[in-house]
Structure 1
Amino acid sequence: MGNSNFERVAIEKCSSYGYAEIKTAVDKALDDIGGLYFVKSGMTIGIKANLVSAMAPEKSATTHPMILRRLCERLLELGASVVIGDSPGGLYTPPFLKNVYRTCGLEDMVKELDPSGEKVRLNDDYSICSGEFLKAVSLKTFIFTGWLNKVDAIINVSKLKTHAMMGMSCAVKNMFGTIPGATKPEYHMRFPNEQAFANVMVDLNEFFKPVLYVVDAIDGMEGNGPTAGEKRHIGAVLTSRKPYALDMVCADLIGMGYSDVPTLVAAGERGLGPKNVSEVEITGCAVSDVKVSDFKRATIHQSITFEGKGIKGAIASVGIKLVYNTKPMVRASECIGCKKCYETCPAKAITMVDSGKNKIPQIDRSKCIKCFCCQEFCPKGAMKVHYNILGKLANRINHI
Structure 2
Amino acid sequence: MKVASIGCTDYNYGQVKEKVVQTISLLGGIEEFVSSGDTVLLKPNLLSPHQPKLGITTHPAVVKAVIELVKDAGGEVKVGESSGGMMINHSLTQQAFKETGIKEVCQDLGVELINFDRVETKIMTSGQGEEIPLPKVLLEADVVISLPKIKTHSLTLFTGAIKNLYGCIPGAKKAEYHKLYPNPRDFAGLVVDLFSLIKPQLTIMDGIVGLEGNGPGTTGDRCEVGTILAGSDLVAVDTVAASYLGYGADEVPITSIANQQDLGTNDLDNIEILGDFKRPEREYKLPSNALLNLLPNWLLGSVFNSFLSSPKIMQEECVQCKRCLHSCPQKVIVEKNDKLKIELDDCIKCLCCQELCPKEAIVVTEHKLVQLIKQVKKFWS
Question: What TM-score do you get using the length of structure 1 for normalisation?
Answer: 0.86
1:223 aligns with 2:213: yes
Question: What is the letter of the counterpart of residue 73 of structure 1?
Answer: E
Deviations 1:167-224 (A, max 9, x none): 0111110000011132211011122222221011111111111110111010011123
Question: What is the letter of the counterpart of residue 14 of structure 1?
Answer: C
Query: Against the structure 1 CA distance between its residues 360 and 108, is the aligned structure 2 distance closer, same or farther, given a 3 Å change threshold?
Result: same
Task: Flag structure 2 segments of 5+ consecutive residues without an equivalent.
Answer: none
Q: d(CA) in 2 for partners of 1:102 and 1:152?
A: 27
8 Å contact kept, 1:259–1:303: no
8 Å contact kept, 1:159–1:216: yes
User: How do residues 370-381 of structure 1 correspond to structure 2 at under 5 angstroms?
Assistant: 370-381=349-360
- Equivalent pairs, count: 374
146-155 or 235-244, which deviates more: 146-155
Query: Against the structure 1 CA distance between its residues 331 and 91, is the aligned structure 2 distance closer, same or farther, given a 3 Å change threshold?
Result: closer
8 Å contact kept, 2:139–2:198: no
Q: Secondary structure at the match of 2:230?
A: strand
Match of 2:123 in 1: 131
Q: d(CA) in 2 for partners of 1:21 and 1:396?
A: 42
Question: What TM-score do you get using the length of structure 2 for normalisation?
Answer: 0.90
Match of 2:240 in 1: 249
Q: d(CA) in 2 for partners of 1:150 and 1:91?
A: 26
Instruction: Give the alignment partner of residue 16 of structure 2, picking from 12, 15, 22.
Output: 22
Match of 2:254 in 1: 263
Deviations 1:319-352 (A, max 9, x none): 9959953111112221122222121111122212
Q: CA deviation at 1:94?
A: 8.3
Q: d(CA) in 2 for partners of 1:297 and 1:380?
A: 21
Question: What is the letter of the counterpart of residue 157 of structure 1?
Answer: L
Q: CA deviation at 1:26?
A: 0.7
344-353 or 297-306, which deviates more: 297-306
8 Å contact kept, 2:10–2:208: yes
User: How do residues 170-209 of structure 1 correspond to structure 2 at under 5 angstroms?
Assistant: 170-209=160-199
Q: Secondary structure at the match of 1:171?
A: coil
Match of 1:4 in 2: none
Q: d(CA) in 2 for partners of 1:124 and 1:322?
A: 33
Q: CA deviation at 1:293?
A: 4.3
Q: CA deviation at 1:317?
A: 3.0
Query: Against the structure 1 CA distance between its residues 235 and 396, is the aligned structure 2 distance closer, same or farther, given a 3 Å change threshold?
Result: farther
343-352 or 296-305, which deviates more: 296-305
Question: What is the letter of the counterpart of residue 355 of structure 2?
Answer: E
Q: d(CA) in 2 for partners of 1:179 and 1:318?
A: 30
Q: d(CA) in 1 for partners of 2:197 and 2:304?
A: 33
Match of 1:31 in 2: 25
272-281 or 87-96, which deviates more: 87-96
Query: Against the structure 1 CA distance between its residues 389 and 108, is the aligned structure 2 distance closer, same or farther, given a 3 Å change threshold?
Result: same
Q: d(CA) in 1 for partners of 2:96 and 2:126?
A: 34
Deviations 1:152-173 (A, max 9, x none): 2110000011111000111110
Tell me how large the CA RMSD over aligned residues is.
2.5
Query: Against the structure 1 CA distance between its residues 292 and 108, is the aligned structure 2 distance closer, same or farther, given a 3 Å change threshold?
Result: farther
Query: Against the structure 1 CA distance between its residues 396 and 247, is the aligned structure 2 distance closer, same or farther, given a 3 Å change threshold?
Result: farther
8 Å contact kept, 2:235–2:258: yes
Q: CA deviation at 1:90?
A: 3.2
1:84 aligns with 2:73: no
Match of 2:159 in 1: 169
8 Å contact kept, 2:147–2:205: yes
Query: Against the structure 1 CA distance between its residues 147 and 272, is the aligned structure 2 distance closer, same or farther, given a 3 Å change threshold?
Result: closer
Q: CA deviation at 1:24?
A: 2.1
Q: d(CA) in 2 for partners of 1:398 and 1:14?
A: 33
Query: Against the structure 1 CA distance between its residues 98 and 345, is the aligned structure 2 distance closer, same or farther, given a 3 Å change threshold?
Result: closer
Q: d(CA) in 2 for partners of 1:10 and 1:163?
A: 23
1:334 aligns with 2:317: yes
Q: d(CA) in 2 for partners of 1:207 and 1:81?
A: 22
99-108 or 163-172, which deviates more: 99-108
Match of 1:294 in 2: 283
69-78 or 94-103, which deviates more: 94-103
8 Å contact kept, 2:40–2:142: yes
Q: Secondary structure at the match of 2:178?
A: helix
382-391 or 238-247, which deviates more: 382-391
Match of 1:359 in 2: 339
Q: CA deviation at 1:267?
A: 1.4
Match of 1:109 in 2: 105
Q: CA deviation at 1:369?
A: 1.0
Q: d(CA) in 1 for partners of 2:126 and 2:151?
A: 31
1:99 aligns with 2:89: no
Q: Secondary structure at the match of 1:181?
A: coil
Deviations 1:103-134 (A, max 9, x none): 1011222333x2xx2xx221257213122224
Match of 1:144 in 2: 134
Deviations 1:209-242 (A, max 9, x none): 1110111010011123111112100000000102
Deviations 1:262-282 (A, max 9, x none): 102211332334344223221
Query: Against the structure 1 CA distance between its residues 222 and 124, is the aligned structure 2 distance closer, same or farther, given a 3 Å change threshold?
Result: closer
Identity of aligned residues (%): 31
Q: Secondary structure at the match of 1:303?
A: helix
Q: CA deviation at 1:78?
A: 1.3
Deviations 1:272-309 (A, max 9, x none): 343442232211135xx1235421122233432537xx
